[in-house]
């Protein structure tokens, strides 16, 4: 046993075998056994990891300069061996201990692993394996081209080196190695290529991939075409964001975005500017062209990196609010101190000011795009609108700006997206509110009985099918002086707005028979409803349920109840009946004429069951509902 192995201690003196966590093993199987159309991603991921390791060393060296030693400049060195079908990607960055190897290479470090794998599986089934390339699969992408991967690493300042090894089939091992087998500092990844991936050991192929996908990483990249050849510099490590915008092409931005964001699509919007004045910083940010897999991660973490004078400080800084977590990129500050902890930087007033300005700039650029290129903005909204709307109840200061950015489907939009400015411009005479209907199914919303009276008068109703909608509409005061009003809550107040087709017709007075039947409904339904009344909002349906004037919207109540966060019992709904509907008038007439009392009661209770079903719920007494339905059907067939 070597002296180095002995110094590592008895717990890692011999190779230790480990099994990948279940989700990682599943991910590896998906990648290796998929007909993957773009395996090139593996090199970009390795170079990105190596660059991060060099940047992390620069940060740690601020407080411990001895970590750098004589090797002051970070570099990434790629060595090819076509004869042995081998690629080596080495860096002189921070390196890893054995424990860090297990944590970093044996698990998917970030949360949402299970959701990632599930989406990967569904994407493969629904759209083919090519879609896998839209996800950043990280280090594990190496197993798409290699049947064995070895990672030699020595942490900066340590005299112990270790090797991580796996064939990607479910397990890996970690063992100490002699210092002559590992870099003097940093990490060396050795890929033993599969037969069908041997072209990746050719100089032309690798040089092309470096220039295409990784030419703008902030660390120089050297390439040696043979194990004993002198390496040549392929990329100079100049940080793209420090260059003038006029010197950067769209392709340069796209390459950098893919490398930094771990995406394989094109950015939908690029935001690059330099702020000067009270705070001096550069921001380079991108709105992805497709949804990242972790968009709805419950932790709602952002993916913006914080640099201070080109030194990577952290990729977990709170640089943008949670509702902009889909934005990828970085902020490089010239003012923040380098000699304080990352935790202290998070609390810095300077960072707070930068965060505020950066958020305003992102929203401003989105607004400019919405004005200058509406179709491009609509694509962004379709991907991220549900997330942006979180800001409507979280960020009071920017609520007006976010309302201006919001887009909606409505009863009059014909499937197209509408802004609130469009809505207000088309208000009917005497219309005093912005009407909306919230639910969990867009198709059901379109067919809801609650909007019949509004449609008949040509009044636009916003159809809100995202869960977040029920929250922000209750906190938003309105738009341009018009409050938001749910069509499922309170009275419709439509008397002052004429019908679109026959404006001379007014809502007829309720007949004596209908008035008597309404009183009967109140007595018969008793505690199941808080009130029964004739409806202004119904034109073709017989019944519907609405929330009381002073209660919460029905959709909000359903969400809180399903989450177990509703204090007390559900509020009793109001049953509205259509006094002009044939079923209602016949029941009222039959009752007035002294018809079969049991039959009329069963049919009356079926009206309430029908209203519940139309509301997207189920009858509270399924057995009673089935019995009543059978009774009514038998009577009608007799």
Q: What is the CATH number of the domain that holds 111?
A: 3.30.565.10
Binding residues: 45, 49, 91, 96, 111-112, 134-139, 187, 342
Please provide residue 160's backbone torsions phi and psi, each rounded to the nearest 5 degrees.
-125, 135
34 and 151 fall within a common domain: yes
CATH number at residue 259: 3.30.230.80
Instruction: Give 577 or 1, the one with higher predicted confidence.
Output: 577
294 shares a domain with 264: yes
Query: How many C-beta neighbours within 10 Å does residue 354 have?
Result: 23
Angle between helices 203-213 and 250-261 (to 10 degrees): 100
Q: Is the residue at 459 inside a domain?
A: no
Same domain, 253 and 186: no
Residues 6+ apart with CB under 8 A from 181: 152, 161, 163
The tokens describing 549, both together, are: 């004037």
pLDDT at 27 over 80: no
Sorted by sequence, the CB contacts under 8 Å of residue 206 that are 6+ apart come out as 43, 78, 80, 87, 200, 223
Determine the number of helices (DSSP H) and then strands (DSSP E) in the chain: 21, 21
Same-domain status, 204 and 262: no
Q: Would you state the pLDDT for residue 362?
A: 98
- pLDDT for res 117: 54
Same structural domain, 216 and 318:
no
pLDDT of 217 reads 79
Q: Residues 259, 355: one domain?
A: yes
- CATH number, domain of 522, equals 1.20.120.790
Is it the case that residue 123 has pLDDT exceeding 60? no
The answer to whether residue 131 scores a pLDDT higher than 60 is: no
Cα distance between residue 320 and residue 298, in whole Å: 16
| Whether residue 225 is found in the same domain as residue 246 | no
Where residue 2 falls among pLDDT bands split at 50, 70, 90? very low
Instruction: Answer yes or no: is 600 within a domain.
Output: yes
Position 13 scores a pLDDT of 62
Per-residue pLDDT tens digits for 325-383: 999 999 999 888 765 556 667 778 888 999 999 999 999 999 999 999 999 999 999 99
- What is the per-residue pLDDT for 8? 41
pLDDT at 135: 41
Q: Which residue has better confidence, 256 or 91?
A: 91
Is position 192 within any domain?
Answer: yes
Judge whether 93 and 187 are in contact, CB under 8 Å. Answer: yes
Of 207-216, 520-529, 612-621, the range with the lowest mean pLDDT is: 207-216
- Give the residue numbers of the binding site for ATP: 45, 49, 91, 96, 111-112, 134-139, 187, 342
Average predicted confidence (pLDDT) for the chain: 85
Kindly report, residue by residue over 69-105, the tens digit of the pLDDT: 888 899 999 999 999 999 999 999 999 999 999 888 8
Residues 187-234 pLDDT 10s: 999 999 999 999 999 999 999 888 877 777 789 999 999 999 999 999
Q: Which of 324, 347, 382 is where one domain is finished?
A: 382
Out of 44-53, 160-169, 359-368, least confident range: 44-53
Looking at the 3D structure of the chain, how many domains does it have?
3
Residues 230 and 248 placed together within one structural domain of the fold: no
Is residue 41 included in any domain, yes or no?
Answer: yes
Q: Does some domain include residue 64?
A: yes
pLDDT of res. 1: 36
- Phi first, then psi, for residue 589 (nearest 5°) are -65, -40
Strand order in the sheet with 146-154: 16-19, 171-177, 161-166, 146-154, 186-193, 86-91, 76-81, 221-224, 232-235
pLDDT-based confidence at residue 59 (cuts at 50, 70, 90): confident
Q: Which residues 6+ apart lie within 8 Å of 246 measured at CB?
A: none
Among 196, 220, 236, residue at a domain's last position: 236
Planar angle of CA 575, 577, 583, nearest 5 degrees = 130
Phi, psi of 465 (to 5 degrees): -110, 5
Residues 229 and 292 in one domain: no
Sequence-ordered strand ranges (E) for 7-129: 16-19, 76-81, 86-91
Other beta carbons within 10 angstroms of residue 442's beta carbon come to 13
Cβ contacts of 444 within 8 Å, gap of 6 or more: 616
pLDDT: which is higher, 502 or 361: 361
Contact 586, 503 (CB under 8 A): no
Q: Are 59 and 17 in contact (CB under 8 A)?
A: no
Of 327, 361, 382, which residue is a domain's last? 382
**Is the domain of 170 the same as that of 191?**
yes
Let me know whether 199 and 253 are in one domain. Answer: no
pLDDT for the residue numbered 476? 82
Identify the band that residue 113 occupies on the pLDDT scale cut at 50, 70 and 90.
Answer: very low
> Residues 392-416: pLDDT tens digits?
989 999 999 999 999 999 999 999 9
Beta bridge partners of 435: 461, 485
Statement: residue 464 has pLDDT above 70: yes
Residue 297 inside a domain? The answer is: yes
User: Structure pTM?
Assistant: 0.71
Confidence of residue 9 (pLDDT cuts 50, 70, 90): very low
16-19 vs 76-81, strand pairing mode: unpaired
Query: The domain containing residue 111 runs over which residues?
Result: 3-236
* Res 4: pLDDT: 40
Split at pLDDT 50, 70, 90, the class of 29 is low
Question: Which one, of 45, 148, 162, 150, lies nearest residue 95 by Cα?
Answer: 162
Contact 207, 223 (CB under 8 A): yes
Model pLDDT, residue 569:
66
Task: Identify the pLDDT of residue 6.
Answer: 41
pLDDT in tens, 546-583: 988 777 777 777 777 776 776 666 788 999 999 999 99
> Are residue 144 and residue 250 in the same domain, yes or no?
no
Give the number of other Cβ atoms within 10 Å of residue 340's Cβ.
15
Distance CA 436, CA 223 (A): 60
Percent of the chain with pLDDT over 70: 87
Higher pLDDT pick, 209 / 22: 209
Residues 6+ positions from 597 with CB-CB distance below 8 Å: none
């Amino acid at each position: 046993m070597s002296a180095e192995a002995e110094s590592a201690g008895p717990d890692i003196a011999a190779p230790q075998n480990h099994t990948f966590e279940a989700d990682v093993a599943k991910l590896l199987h998906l990648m290796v056994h998929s007909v993957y159309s773009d395996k090139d991603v593996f090199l970009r991921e390795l170079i990105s990891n190596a660059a991060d390791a060099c940047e992390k060393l620069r940060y740690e060296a601020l407080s411990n300069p001895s970590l750098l030693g004589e090797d002051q400049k970070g570099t990434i060195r790629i060595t090819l061996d076509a004869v042995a079908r081998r690629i080596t990607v080495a860096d002189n960055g921070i390196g890893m201990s054995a424990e860090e190897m297990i944590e970093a290479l044996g698990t998917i470090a970030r949360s949402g692993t299970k959701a990632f794998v599930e989406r990967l599986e569904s994407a493969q089934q629904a759209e083919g394996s090519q879609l896998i390339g839209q996800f950043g699969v990280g280090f594990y992408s190496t197993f798409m081209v290699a049947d064995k991967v070895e990672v030699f690493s020595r942490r900066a300042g340590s005299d112990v080196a270790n090797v991580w090894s796996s064939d990607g089939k479910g397990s890996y091992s970690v063992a100490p190695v002699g210092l002559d087998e590992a870099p003097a500092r940093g990490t060396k990844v050795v890929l033993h290529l599969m037969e069908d991936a041997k072209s990746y050991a050719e100089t032309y192929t690798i040089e092309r991939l470096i220039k295409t996908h990784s030419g703008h990483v902030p660390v120089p990249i050297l390439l040696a075409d043979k194990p004993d050849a002198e390496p040549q510099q392929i990329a100079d490590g100049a940080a793209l964001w420090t260059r003038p915008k006029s010197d950067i092409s769209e392709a340069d931005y796209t390459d950098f975005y893919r490398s930094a964001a771990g995406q394989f699509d094109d950015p939908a919007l690029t935001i690059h500017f330099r702020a000067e004045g009270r705070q001096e910083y550069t921001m380079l940010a991108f709105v992805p062209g497709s949804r990242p897999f972790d968009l709805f991660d419950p932790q709602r973490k952002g993916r913006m990196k914080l640099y201070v004078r080109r030194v990577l400080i952290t990729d977990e800084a709170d640089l943008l609010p949670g509702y902009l977590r889909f934005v990828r990129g970085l902020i490089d500050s010239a003012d923040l101190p380098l000699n304080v902890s990352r935790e202290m930087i998070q609390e810095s007033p300077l960072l707070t000011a930068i965060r505020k300005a950066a958020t305003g700039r992102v929203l401003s650029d989105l607004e400019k795009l919405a004005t200058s290129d509406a179709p491009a903005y609509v694509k962004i909204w379709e991907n991220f609108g549900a997330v942006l709307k979180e800001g409507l109840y979280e960020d009071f200061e920017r609520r007006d700006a976010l309302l201006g950015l919001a887009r909606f489907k409505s009863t009059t939009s014909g499937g197209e997206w509408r802004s609130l400015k469009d809505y207000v411009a088309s208000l009917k005479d005497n219309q005093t509110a912005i009407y909306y209907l919230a639910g969990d199914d867009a198709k059901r919303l379109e067919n809801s009985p609650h909007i019949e009276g509004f449609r008949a008068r040509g009044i636009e109703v916003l159809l809100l099918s995202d869960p977040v909608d029920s929250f922000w509409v209750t906190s938003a005061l309105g738009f341009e002086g018009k409050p938001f009003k749910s069509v499922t809550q309170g009275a419709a107040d439509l008397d002052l707005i004429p019908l679109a087709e026959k404006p001379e017709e007014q809502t007829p007075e309720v007949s004596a028979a209908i008035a008597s039947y309404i009183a009967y409904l109140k007595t018969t339904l008793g505690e199941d409803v808080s009130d029964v009344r004739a409806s202004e909002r119904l034109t073709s349906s017989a019944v519907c349920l609405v929330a009381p004037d002073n209660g919460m919207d029905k959709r909000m109540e359903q969400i809180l109840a399903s989450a177990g966060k509703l204090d007390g019992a559900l509020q009793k709904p109001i049953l509205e009946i259509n006094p002009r509907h044939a079923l209602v008038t016949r029941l009222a007439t039959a009752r007035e004429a002294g018809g079969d009392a049991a039959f009329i009661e069963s049919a009356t209770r079926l009206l309430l069951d029908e209203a519940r079903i139309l509301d997207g719920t189920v009858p509270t007494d399924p057995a009673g509902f089935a019995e009543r339905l059978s009774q009514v059907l038998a009577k009608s067939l007799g």
